[in-house]
Amino acid sequence: MDLSTEIAGVALRNPVLLASGTCNYGQELQAITDLSRLGGIVTKTITPLPRAGNRPQRIVETPAGMLNSIGLQNPGLDDFIANKWPFLQTLDTQIVVNIAGHTIEEFADMAARLQDLSGIAAIEVNISCPNVKAGGANFANSATASAEVIAAVRSVTRQPVIAKLSPNVTDIAEIARAVEGAGADALSLINTLIGMAIDVRRRRPILGNITGGLSGPAIKPVALAMVWKVFQAVEIPIIGLGGISTAQDAIEFLIAGASAVQVGTASFVNPNAGVEITKGIQRYADESGIQQLSELVGSLQT
């Protein structure tokens, strides 16, 4: 079976993308894996101005996962356009650019400037990073604020707009409906769950930022439930992510209602994870006699 699919008008070779913040700007992974065998990659979040990120320690392993508090270290939009985009443009895969700002205006200004870059598949709007105080997290908790950000971005760009949602909310379906109403073409969910780890000897937090974002297999059941919940609440396509490390995980997300998936933390353990998951989905589809990927999407029998 042909795994090709389409999300918000973007043609994908297959439904597997690499998640924001887990593939930087493509260069490092291209040396060890074949990005052209993936549906696409989502860049590490870009902010209007450069950011140093949080002080170390930024990473710690937790049961079946890890916490990170990178803090959106990134070169800023100007440097991204001048120095990261030229390489990304050479890749034979779809490039989704992930953006974050402190204010609605910043989000809109960035989207307006990215409009000039031809070749961008879509903009993923990060309204959900848990590691930045004044950043996306403020928007993610409020359906109204989330919708305002998406509406502002929508009004300045013709590119497809994907809203990346936080799981750290009371009702993710409410946020999903709000951003759908504001013009989002698709949703990515979920971002990381807020978590922390403590050094009992020193009675101090292990992470320099005290709390961080939990990712990896530990969060997969949470992500899956949220995809299923949101699938029933909206019409726009969902890109599912959260702890996907095998083809079976990815297929579970498709069955729960995701039209595509993102592989994140798994690439840290196996830089070829995305490609291996793609192969596994192909095998599953061939074996189960599926003609089109859409037959799987949301096919959960309850």
Select the residue interacting with another protein from 5, 74, 159, 209 (CB under 8 A). Answer: 74
DSSP 295: G
Listed residue (139, 140, 145, 135) closest to 69, CA to CA: 135
- For the CB of residue 230, give the shortest distance to another protein in the complex, in Å: 26
Shortest reach from residue 136's CB to another protein, in Å: 17
Given 183, 271, 280, 298, the residue binding another protein (CB under 8 A): 271
Clarify whether 23 is annotated catalytic.
no
In the beta sheet, which residues pair with residue 67?
Answer: 60, 214
Show the tokens assigned to 158.
Answer: 């013709």
Q: How far apart are CA 61 and CA 286, in angstroms?
A: 36
Amino acid sitting at position 288: S
C-beta of 190 vs 219, nearer to another protein: 219
Q: Give yes or no for residue 57 binding another protein (CB under 8 A).
A: yes
DSSP string for residues in 221-263 = HHHHHHHHHHHTT-SS-EEEESS--SHHHHHHHHHHT-SEEEE
Position among 1, 6, 37, 59 found at the interface with another protein (CB under 8 A)? 59
Q: In this complex, which beta carbon is closest to another protein, that of residue 212 or of residue 237?
A: 212
Choosing from 272, 280, 290, 295, the residue that interacts with another protein (CB under 8 A) is 272
Residue type, 69: S
CB of 2 to another protein, least distance (A): 29
- For 293, half-sphere exposure in the C-beta direction (CA atoms, 13 angstrom radius) is 25
239-268: which residues touch another protein (CB under 8 A)? Answer: 265, 267-268
280 counts as binding another protein under rule CB under 8 A: no
Is 166 in contact with 137 (CB distance < 8 Å)?
yes
Q: Which is nearer to another protein, 51 or 154 (CB)?
A: 51
Contact residue for another protein among 39, 43, 44, 159 (CB under 8 A): 44
Instruction: Report the residue from 1, 6, 37, 79 that binds another protein according to the rule CB under 8 A.
Output: 79
C-alpha closest to that of 149 among 97, 193, 111: 111
262 vs 40: CA distance, rounded Å: 9
Q: Which is nearer to another protein, 84 or 154 (CB)?
A: 84
The window from 51-59, 112-120, 124-132, 227-235 that contacts another protein (CB under 8 A) reads 51-59
User: Is the Cβ of residue 55 or residue 283 nearer to another protein in the bound state?
Assistant: 55
Of residues 181 through 240, those in contact with another protein by CB under 8 A are: 216-218
In 3-state terms, what secondary structure has residue 132? coil
**Cβ–Cβ under 8 Å, residues 49 and 78:** no
Question: Which residue of the set 129, 175, 224, 238 is catalytic?
Answer: 129
17 in helix, strand or coil? strand
Site for another protein in 107-146 (CB under 8 A): none
**Interior CA angle at 86 toward 81 and 89, to 5°?**
110
Helix (H) or strand (E) holding 248: helix 247-256
State how far the Cα of 24 lies from the Cα of 221, in Å rounded to an integer.
Answer: 26
Residue 44 C-beta: closest distance to another protein, Å: 7
In this structure, is the dihedral angle defined by the CA atoms of residues 166, 167, 169 and 173, taken in order, positive or negative? positive
Footprint on residues 1-30 left by another protein (CB under 8 A): 21-24, 28-29
- 45 binding another protein? (CB under 8 A): no
- List interacting residues with another protein (CB under 8 A): 21-24, 28-29, 31-32, 44, 49-53, 55-66, 68, 70, 73-76, 79, 216-218, 265, 267-272
The set of catalytic residues is: 129
